[in-house]
Amino acid sequence: MEFNEETIKSQRIYKGNITEYWVEEVLLPNGKKANRELVKHAGAVAIMPFTADGKMIFVKQFRKAIEKTILEIPAGMIDKTDDNPIETGKRELEEETGFQAKVFELETSFYTSPGFSNEFLYIYRAEELTRVDQPLAQDEDEFLELVTLSFEEAWVAYEKKLIIDSKTVFALFYWKMKKEMEQKNR
């Protein structure tokens, strides 16, 4: 059975700075029609910055959509000035943390919520960090605090529901897997 949905009609209902909202009428595989409410997004990059002593840098910030202050790995949108996701990641790492990384490796990428959005997220691991004397400026509407945590401290933050967004939960479980593999290989 083919699962494709043919778009019959497409209407953009709002274009913001970060997202666009569309309603599309589609023809289903069974011949019936349905509406799809879609959020279109340019994509984003997240960074897992590891310090020399094996800790990870998080950013603490308020998220209006959930009315809560949480801990997240640094991240940001791919914008028109970036030629590729790695440039976005390096820019966001410096803007949000004031660090640059000698090692910057792609770990994974995925659609964050394909049921309603086309947002595609790249997650990089950053190591061998150096502080920048005059880092790139943070976005005007961005208020963050850096929090550097050991794995154990980050796990406690997860249990306390301070780490609750998908990219940061992924980073935490990636870190757990990495630690378990290192112990296994000893």
Q: What DSSP assignment string belongs to 115-181?
A: TTB--EEEEEEEEEEEE-SSPPPPPTT---EEEEE-HHHHHHHHHTTSS-SHHHHHHHHHHHHHHHH
pLDDT (0 to 100) of residue 135: 78
Examine the domain organization and report whether 106 and 76 are in the same domain.
Answer: yes
Q: How many domains are contained in the chain?
A: 2
Q: Is residue 161 part of a domain?
A: yes
pLDDT in tens, 121-175: 999 999 999 999 887 777 788 899 999 999 999 999 999 999 999 999 999 999 9
- What would you measure as the largest C-alpha separation in the chain, in angstroms? 61
Q: Is residue 134 part of a domain?
A: yes
From the list 178, 159, 170, 161, the residue with the least C-alpha distance to 73 is: 170
Examine the domain organization and report whether 48 and 35 are in the same domain.
Answer: no
Examine the domain organization and report whether 23 and 112 are in the same domain.
Answer: no
Examine the domain organization and report whether 36 and 51 are in the same domain.
Answer: no
Q: Is residue 1 part of a domain?
A: no
Q: Look up the CATH number of the domain holding residue 69.
A: 3.90.79.10
Examine the domain organization and report whether 66 and 129 are in the same domain.
Answer: yes
Rounded CA gap, 2 and 29, in Å? 7
Examine the domain organization and report whether 86 and 176 are in the same domain.
Answer: yes
Model-level pTM? 0.91
Examine the domain organization and report whether 66 and 82 are in the same domain.
Answer: yes
Examine the domain organization and report whether 95 and 152 are in the same domain.
Answer: yes
Examine the domain organization and report whether 15 and 51 are in the same domain.
Answer: no
Examine the domain organization and report whether 84 and 130 are in the same domain.
Answer: yes
Instruction: Judge residue 25's burial from the number of C-beta atoms within 10 Å of its C-beta, 0-12 exposed, 13-18 middle, 19 or more buried.
Output: middle
Within 10 A of 175 (CB to CB), how many other CB atoms are there? 18
Give whole-number Cα distances, 61 to 45, 46, 157, in Å. Answer: 17, 15, 14
**Domain limits at 94?**
42-184
Examine the domain organization and report whether 170 and 111 are in the same domain.
Answer: yes
**Sheet (strand 99-111) strand order:** 75-77, 44-49, 120-131, 99-111
Examine the domain organization and report whether 32 and 96 are in the same domain.
Answer: no
Q: Specify whether 72 is catalytic.
A: no
Catalytic option among 5, 105, 119, 140 = 140
Rounded CA gap, 92 and 76, in Å? 6
What are the tokens at 118?
Answer: 């086309």
Rounded CA gap, 137 and 135, in Å? 6
117 phi and psi, to 5 degrees?
Answer: -140, 150
Instruction: Provide the residue-wise pLDDT of the chain in tens; the chain has 186 residues.
Output: 778 999 999 999 999 999 999 999 999 999 999 999 999 999 999 999 999 999 999 999 999 999 999 999 999 999 888 889 999 999 999 999 999 999 999 999 999 999 999 999 999 999 999 999 887 777 788 899 999 999 999 999 999 999 999 999 999 999 999 999 999 988
Report whether 96 contacts 59 (CB < 8 A): yes
pLDDT (0 to 100) of residue 144: 93
